[in-house]
Amino acid sequence: MISSKTSTSLAKALLIMLLLGRGTPEPMATVTAGPVTLSVIDLQINSVKGKRAIAFKVSTDAVEIRITNSEPTKVIQGKLYKGSKRLYEVAGKGVIDEVKGTEEGFKLRTPDGKLLWKIHLYPTKLKISDNEEDKNAYVLETKDGQVNIQLDERSIGTVTRNSPGEVNAGNSDGKPSFVSHFSRLTVAPGIMLLDKIPEPEKYLIIAELLARGR
């Protein structure tokens, strides 16, 4: 008969063996709504005419956006606040906007909570509107290896991956307006084509889309 002391020792030994054999946990799976970035994402978007250059550094809990074509370089910092939203601020100006996550995507709001833009995420597309009902929304849909951008069912541009590591966004005439370097197709440079969205609100939306694997 095995004594209780021996049983306890065997149990501890088995537990240690299980823990040692467990290895490194698998990374979290990507979902559509909440931020899921597990490592730092770096992306720079340049206008073809050289008038704009915006660099993004996005991690799980922080965002840095550098507008490098301005003098001096303008930096926007995004930090999680109470785990439910991200506050964006500029040095010397305080909080300029906030992002609140939702079950369907996220909302860009003023510091006092007024809706600026609602981003509704779907498996292969997203809608961006300035109202809760998704009326008159921009639609960005990934299909056949590119992102098609529409407003009022009218094509206004596309995002294409023209060569390994290069992702371009251009108007419906097919000429690229913005160039970025990224390892996969992303909707990010396409946001720069949305004329109704002012800067820097475009940049905040891009950062949040990157944080959600888009």
Q: What is the pLDDT of residues 18-29, one digit of tens each?
A: 333 333 332 322
Q: What value, to the nearest 5°, has the Cα angle with vertex 143 and ends 116 and 140?
A: 10
Which residues, in sequence order, are CB contacts of 140 under 8 Å at separation 6+?
Answer: 125, 126, 127, 128, 147, 148, 149, 159, 187, 190
Q: How far apart (Å, rounded) are the C-alpha atoms in residues 202 and 198?
A: 6
**Which one-letter amino acid corresponds to residue 91?**
A
pLDDT tens profile 123-179 = 999 999 999 999 999 999 999 999 999 999 999 999 999 888 899 999 987 789 999
